[in-house]
A = this chain, B = another copy of it.
């Protein structure tokens, strides 16, 4: 493989294995797998899901929904509905089954007055992450939203949707499972309350840690993990995946070596990785970890080689004195990203280990 610039390498085999694992888990639990495509943002990677039987997807913006609507006809925009984009909503819902998220009376009222074609909506429930969503005990607000949506022939209530993003603070499988169990109970409680009035009511849960670690989704109807397509160092620290499952690595040319301070400077900075970070006591803040180069891809983490700082184009990589002579200017390092969603979002394309270029939005 010829590397000349920072290049986001994609291990297609690992990626397909990651997708396959969750797909099988969903099948086994008899629930739908509605993958979140905000991580890869690629029509072509989307076909890898389609090929194994996935039929519905999730995205985080109407812009992404427009892009994927070329190939997918059931898309949930898992973000509080932005009423300023009503024109795009009407354009999309004419063509596909578009599902939106509602967490206020204002938004559902606006939609009732302005949608021209049938849309579905989920009521977003806050299961403890405290970012968006309605407090599950606020039955009065839920009822008001449902009341407003009634008698509108273009607005269908799909069910309740939650994202247990507080699993990102977990550092063990048991912590993740405890949050997942609580989220499930909250959602099942709502189902019990509303199933009579809405027999087709769907419960949708989403975070990658829960979907990676839990085997029990009883009563849930669909899962929406996204990051699992690639995984990353953050998900590994949470406990979602092994290092071997991480399916993307950035190839970063070495442009300078500073032995006197045990540092290698790579071409690969914050405009390639973004600036999400991890922290640990021994190393401080890190922005990526080097892995061994293999003939066809990459292998294990090289202990003690990590990205300690990022400028716009520079990566400052800490390399132990005993290993620094293994590298020379003109080589490249392979770096696992801290947060693959933001890294992928910055790169214009992926390069598979077979040197195939895969484009994205």
Contacts from A to B (Cβ < 8 Å): 3-5, 38, 60-61, 63, 79-85, 87-88, 103-104, 106-107, 110, 130-132, 135, 165, 253, 255-258, 260-261, 265, 267, 270-271, 274-276, 309, 311-314, 316, 328-330, 332, 341-342, 345-346
Contacts and interface: CB of A to CB of B under 8 A. Distances in A.
A137 B4 CA distance: 32
Contact of A255 (B3, B79, B267, B271): B79
The binding surface of chain A is classed by DSSP as: mixed
Contacts of A330: 83-84, 106, 110
A5 B311 contact: no
B131 A311 contact: yes
A72 to B, nearest CB: 19
Nearest to A87: B4
Nearest to A260: B135
A103 B253 contact: no
Contact of A83 (B165, B274, B329): B329
Contact of A253 (B84, B274, B311, B316): B84
A342 to B, nearest CB: 6
Given A63-B5, A79-B267, A330-B84, A341 B314 contact: no
12 contacts: A38-B313, A61-B313, A80-B265, A82-B267, A103-B256, A110-B330, A130-B261, A132-B258, A271-B345, A274-B274, A312-B345, A346-B346
Contacts of A314: 79, 131-132
A341 B230 CA distance: 28
Contact of A257 (B104, B267, B270, B271): B104
Contacts of A313: 38, 60-61, 79
What 5 pairs between A and B have smallest CB-CB spacing?
A80-B255, A275-B275, A80-B256, A4-B84, A106-B329
